[in-house]
Structure 1
């Protein structure tokens, strides 16, 4: 069975499932390509309010396929460079996507699978999920933005521990570190993200999109630059139809009806 990305629409949520059972849902360029297409469609479809990324058969993602990587050693370096560039484009697409992206993690999220989790806006993980940056165990260094995210999210010493020791970390510890939003019982990691997606779907799509853009902007902006971005975003939101509906609904003590 080949590596594939399964796509399913559940009400206002798009669920993308990594499926590569023979390799514990290892990533493959075919998955990157399918994800690009699915995310582009979701970005244009106003009826889709959130995207969930998960893995099939109780495994989130084992990262890169070591057999494929070993084979690439005998090919020109450009082959692996192109593969990683495609992965990088996927990661950048997740960050820039206008809809919230939720990782639903059962089982292991290893290597680039962990990097994929870190690129999502929300992370819901089963209590027995395991996260590992084990590149060092096979003489490699991180890709997919894993080192970028961990170095920004954690103190230097913790980032060094996770990447240089390459030991598994459980969901509870990542929740304590602020990386995992919610820890749920095993087998329930897709249930809670579906509820979260439904909740987000009831909020103003314009406001959610604007907040995500501000979070992205804050990563590299000065305070002065970000204050200006907040100003512009706030004024735009106030004069958007969602702003009028949200304020009116609050004052009239009713639920807003965002379109």
Structure 2
């Protein structure tokens, strides 16, 4: 079987599964193009409130296909540049999708697979899951925004270690560093992510989507700019039907039900 992207539903959550049998779900342009389209569709579908990104067969993603990369060495440089542009489009789609995205990582997230996990809003990992920026091990440098995401979250010395050392890092260490949100028993990352997604899907869709946008924009905003964005978001949220339901439910001591 060839590389493909599988999309299935679980309640209000869209499950996006990377599948490349025999290659530990290594990335392929067809998979990447499908992911961009799938996430764009999810963003427009009001029945979808959460997205979970995972890999088939209890393995998240091995990153780039080294056989295909070696073949690309014989082609014009623009070919590989185009593949990376496509990968960057997937990263943008994860960040721009208004619905929160949870990465469910079992096995390992390597290279661009690690970058994709970092592009998600939340990460649930199996206890034995490994994360590695493996590029340096084969004479390459990061892509998919991996070095940017790490630099946003960690001190420079730790980022340099992860990128230059090239050895696997445990889910436990990334949990201690704040990059992984939850560690669960091996083989249960997807189930745990779906359970969490069900809980978050019960929150105000308007508020959740606005929070994702605020967090994304904070990385490039001054405090004054961000405070203004928060003000606008708060006022708009107050006058949204979700606030009427949420505040009303609190005052009436009942569980809110958002449409």
Q: Given the alignment of the two structures, is residue 167 of structure 1 paired with residue 167 of structure 2, yes or no? A: yes
Question: Where does residue 242 of structure 1 map in the other structure?
Answer: 242
List aligned pairs for 1:213-232, cutoff 5 A.
Answer: 213-232=213-232
Question: Where does residue 148 of structure 2 map in the other structure?
Answer: 148
Runs of 4+ in 1 over 4 A off after TM superposition: none
Q: TM-score, normalised by structure 2?
A: 0.99
Question: Where does residue 201 of structure 1 map in the other structure?
Answer: 201
Gap regions ≥5 residues in structure 2: none
Q: How many angstroms apart in 1 are the aligned matches of 2:243 and 2:145?
A: 35
- Alpha-carbon deviation of 1:244? 1.1
Question: Where does residue 47 of structure 1 map in the other structure?
Answer: 47
Question: Where does residue 129 of structure 1 map in the other structure?
Answer: 129
Q: How many angstroms apart in 2 are the aligned matches of 1:209 and 1:149?
A: 20
- Alpha-carbon deviation of 1:151? 1.1
Cα deviations by residue, 1:92-147 (Å, 9 ceiling, x for unpaired): 11111100000000101100000000000110000010000010011100000100
In the comparison of the two structures, how many residue pairs are matched?
259
- Alpha-carbon deviation of 1:79? 0.6
Question: Where does residue 186 of structure 1 map in the other structure?
Answer: 186
Question: Where does residue 253 of structure 2 map in the other structure?
Answer: 253
Q: How many angstroms apart in 2 are the aligned matches of 1:241 and 1:192?
A: 30
Q: TM-score, normalised by structure 1?
A: 0.99
- Alpha-carbon deviation of 1:220? 0.6
- Alpha-carbon deviation of 1:6? 0.8
Question: Where does residue 68 of structure 2 map in the other structure?
Answer: 68
SS at match of 2:250: helix
Cα deviations by residue, 1:208-241 (Å, 9 ceiling, x for unpaired): 0000010011001000000000000000000111
Cα deviations by residue, 1:137-174 (Å, 9 ceiling, x for unpaired): 11100000100011111111110100001110010000
Q: How many angstroms apart in 2 are the aligned matches of 1:253 and 1:17?
A: 39
Q: How many angstroms apart in 1 are the aligned matches of 2:229 and 2:41?
A: 27
Gap regions ≥5 residues in structure 1: none
List aligned pairs for 1:92-131, cutoff 5 A.
Answer: 92-131=92-131
SS at match of 1:257: coil
SS at match of 1:15: strand
